[in-house]
A and B are shown apart, each in its own frame.
Chain A
């Protein structure tokens, strides 16, 4: 069974620093890997999706990499802002219909 782990569980940085969030998965047979943002008490906002055949995806200040062989994905957020404070979840797609296995998330606090 696919297991997804996120490290660290929580992270606090001053504004302007770059953020590095790690995600690891046990089964490399994934269809894709998706990064989400979740604000307290809210739903999920999709940030980036990396197909299994891709190495990375970029959107604005966000960059996500994928290394299937080592079972790792990393989300980089450049020049962090207080508005980036949220919980970030990674999820591996385990079938072609979109079933996702989630990590526990990394809670990020960016201080002004």
Chain B
């Protein structure tokens, strides 16, 4: 299957600093990627849809000025947590679908996920 690589796998930063997380599709081009956040003991919540060459679409309640998303190429999307606070500590994970893959019935293929990034803000 398609491979999505996310870096770093974990990061610790001080309050007030910014952290950048990268999400790469290694063997396919992804015009659309998704960023999710998971708090402890909770499920994954979609934060935003990253669109190559255009602005990201944010879900309700997600601050676009705090979570900057850049999708400058067909294989790379970045999420920057700006002026991080301890409450931003969470597990962040990206996903993408290979648009070239298709099933016989033209169904939507599976979403592939990165390994996730554990962010701890101290």
Contacts and interface: CB of A to CB of B under 8 A. Distances in A.
A10 B30 CA distance: 35
Contacts of B45: 102
Contacts of A61: none
Interface residues of A, number: 27
B46 A101 contact: yes
Given A43-B113, A43-B114, A89-B43, A100 B108 contact: no
A96 B109 CA distance: 9
Interface in B72-122: 91, 93, 95-97, 103, 105, 107-116, 118
Interface in A16-53: 31-32, 34, 36, 41-44, 46, 49, 51-53
B32 A97 contact: yes
Contacts of B97: 97-98
Nearest to B116: A43
Contacts of A44: 44, 93, 113, 116
7 contacts: A32-B107, A46-B113, A49-B109, A52-B107, A54-B107, A97-B32, A98-B108
